[in-house]
Every structure is written in structure tokens, then in C-alpha cells.
Amino acid sequence: MSKTRGFTLVEMLVVITIIGILAGLVLAALGKVRQQARETETSSLIDTLSMACENYYTDWGGVYPPAFQGDDASETNEGIEMLYKALTTREGLSRRDYARDYPSDKIGDTDDDGKLEFLDSWGNPLVYFDSRHYSKTCEYVTRNNIKFTAQPQKDPRTNRYYRYGKFMIWSIGRYERNANGLEDNVSNF
């Protein structure tokens, strides 16, 4: 009589361990792909907003959307809130709709002041400065209620602001660490 032999306990543990390692590698790769997709999506939104700002510039006689009302930058998230208002209201010189078809998940109010702002793929407000206000500093609040101070940066090689004479838009990125558009931040410069 022949006896059928099954797997031993050691063999089963080895197979389970190998499957676990492979599953871990796949999940890590998927996480990386997801983060790259979010960065690409945020970069695409920034490019779209940059194009809308250029159209605004053309229609309004060489003026980019203002980042602040007057010289005061006292409100949180004010730069991106002002950009949202400038691109979505049809008042003044142009009746063009600069910001049509933005996904609803890219618009929100992270600082709960009743003013809408454009959001990156992680749900945090984008940072916006126009060149007239590069010398200003502004406070921003993330979706996790983390406050940070934003200010445009200069290129160390030329000692001029990045995007001199234009505007800067950036996202603080997946780690919610503001580098003012540099390092891990996703930006238009």
C-alpha cells in the first residue's frame, strides 16, 4: 500500500514566507506608483493654472492675477484663494472663464474661512504668489491643520526670484513640508 506524502510544516512555512515577501514587494511598488501618480496629477493642475494665469495676463493688459488684496497678507491661504477668485469670477475687462472644468476634489476650503482654494492631490492648498508680491510672506493651513509660512525663493546662482516678473505656484507635496517650492515640493519653476 502506497502512502501519499503531503507538505511538511517547514515546507508550508517557507511557501507562506515567500508569498508574504512577494506581496510586500508588490504593495511597496504600488505605493510608489500611487505617489508618482499624485505628483503627476498635481503637476498637471499647476500647469493648467499656469496656462490660465497666462490667459488672464493677456486679457488684463499685462497683469497676472493678484495674490493679495492690497499690501496686507494677513489672511491664511490668501494667495491661492485670490487666484481662485480671479480665475472663477467673470468681472472686469474679460468675460473668459479661465478655470472651467476643474474637478471638485481639487477645490476646497482647508482654513474654514468660507473662501475656496485650489487643492493638490493630497488635499492641501496650493501656494500662489504673483511677482508684485514676491517680497511678502503668507501663512497657509493644510487639511491636517498644520500651519506653515510661505515665501517665494530666489535662485542662488542669479540672486533673482524664480519666475522673475511672473508668478509662482507650488504644492507642499506628500510630506506636508514646505520648502517654498523647492526640494520635494511640486512647482511651476
Neighbouring C-beta atoms of residue 124, cutoff 10 Å: 26
- Burial of residue 176 (CB within 10 Å: 0-12, 13-18, 19+) is middle
- The pLDDT value recorded for residue 1 is 57
* Residue pair 96/54 in contact by the 8 Å Cβ criterion: no
- Burial of residue 94 (CB within 10 Å: 0-12, 13-18, 19+) is middle
Global pTM reads: 0.83
The whole-angstrom separation of Cα 109 and Cα 112 is 5
- The pLDDT value recorded for residue 124 is 95
The whole-angstrom separation of Cα 119 and Cα 77 is 11
**The total number of residues written for the chain in this structure:** 189
- The pLDDT value recorded for residue 75 is 83
- The pLDDT value recorded for residue 126 is 96
Per-10-residue mean pLDDT of the chain, 189 residues long, equals 76 94 92 92 94 91 88 80 87 65 86 94 95 92 93 93 94 90 91
- The pLDDT value recorded for residue 103 is 79
